[in-house]
Amino acid sequence: MNKRRFVKVIIFKLGLLFLLVGLGGCASLMVEPLLEPLTLSLEQETDIELLVDGSPTLLLMINGFITSDPENPELLRAGTRAFSAYAILLDETGKLERARLASEKARRYGFQLLSLNREFKENVKQPLAVFKQSLSSFGKADAADLFWGGQAWALWIKMQGGSPAALVDLPKVEEIMLRVVELDESTYFGSAHLVLGSIYCSLSPMLGGKPEVGRRHFERSLVLSQRQYWPAQVAFADTYARQTFNRELFEDLLKEILSRPLVENEMVTANRLAQKKAAELLELIDDIF
């Protein structure tokens, strides 16, 4: 989608949303079908600066809808995904403080979404064993919500820059992603495996890292996405290959995605960011190895 068309679509759909806000009553039933394509637009545009500049209006609208209907799963899902996507965009463009704030909002909406499940709500702050048991109350139909809530939590931890108070939550994110894998490992291009691979390969073995377990999760993610979701290659290179000093794997993974053309699909924004990150990492290869 070119810039002019993207902006026109955003303006048209936001105009409809503003109109529906004034209708009251059952407006949320009419708003929800419009929010999904708007949220997906954050994942389907290659002009990163355009997305960074154009997204705040959409995010403010989502905030308003959730405030008026705080237990609506469709709105909470849209808020979790949209603020997660925006946090990643801001992080990749160097707007770190704004990225941190966006990740906090994504985590909040993710918690609200998962807390619609009473077992989760009652046990989210409990010790790990109790928390893990509560996840059994989620079924296959909940896999996507469980993934997005866990992904937002993982993103928030990343944005805290190694804070011990944030890292203490990492085992709970791990358990969420393991449950997603049990329920439906194909969820969002196998990205639960990607998150698990990143967790196991980002920590040193002395701190609980499991690089070979992480490698298996990355490889499974690549299989499930048919190697089309390129953040998996970047994370695989930047964690496992880097930690194990595997320069050949590091280079092969990054060159793989740089050699391929972008395709206009639901992965295109993430893939564009992945190519950008891959190029940056390859420039540093002699310093890394």
Read off the pLDDT of each residue in 256-280 and give the average, rounded to a whole number: 92
12-21, 110-119, 159-168, 244-253: which range is least confident on average? 12-21
Per residue in 55-77, pLDDT (tens digit) is: 888 888 889 889 988 999 988 99
Confidence class of residue 98 from pLDDT cuts 50, 70 and 90? very high
Query: Residue 142 in contact with residue 105, Cβ under 8 Å?
Result: no
Q: What is d(CA 46, CA 286) in angstroms, rounded to the nearest whole number?
A: 29
Evaluate whether residue 176 is within a structural domain: no
Structure tokens at 49: 């600066």
Evaluate whether residue 218 is within a structural domain: yes
Evaluate whether residue 220 is within a structural domain: yes
Evaluate whether residue 54 is within a structural domain: no
pLDDT at 207: 72
pLDDT at 52: 78
Evaluate whether residue 64 is within a structural domain: no
- The number of domains in the chain is 1
Mean pLDDT, the chain, rounded, equals 86
Nearest to 38 by CA among 92, 87, 90, 1: 1
Evaluate whether residue 231 is within a structural domain: yes
Read off the pLDDT of each residue in 88-111 and give the average, rounded to a whole number: 94
CATH number (domain holding residue 254): 1.25.40.920
Q: Which residue has the higher pLDDT, 100 or 57?
A: 100
Which residues have C-beta within 8 Å of that of residue 276, sequence separation ≥ 6?
48, 92
Structure tokens at 87: 């946090």
Strands (E), 91-185: none
* Distance between first and last Cα of the chain: 39
Q: Is the pLDDT of residue 169 over 80?
A: yes
Structure tokens at 54: 């154009």
Helix 27-41 vs helix 3-21: crossing angle, to nearest 10: 160
Residue found under tokens 């967790």: 199
Evaluate whether residue 207 is within a structural domain: yes
Query: Residue 214 in contact with residue 197, Cβ under 8 Å?
Result: yes
In this structure, what are the phi and psi dihedrals at residue 228, rounded to the nearest 5 degrees?
A: -95, -15
Read off the pLDDT of each residue in 219-239 and give the average, rounded to a whole number: 97
Distance of CA 57 to the CA centre of its chain: 20
Task: Provide the domain limits for residue 267.
Answer: 187-289
> For residue 264, what is the DSSP state?
S
Evaluate whether residue 233 is within a structural domain: yes
* C-alpha angle 277-280-284 in degrees, rounded to nearest 5: 135
Q: What's the maximum distance between 2 C-alpha atoms anywhere in the chain?
A: 61
Q: Is the pLDDT of residue 8 over 70?
A: no
Q: Is the pLDDT of residue 25 over 80?
A: no
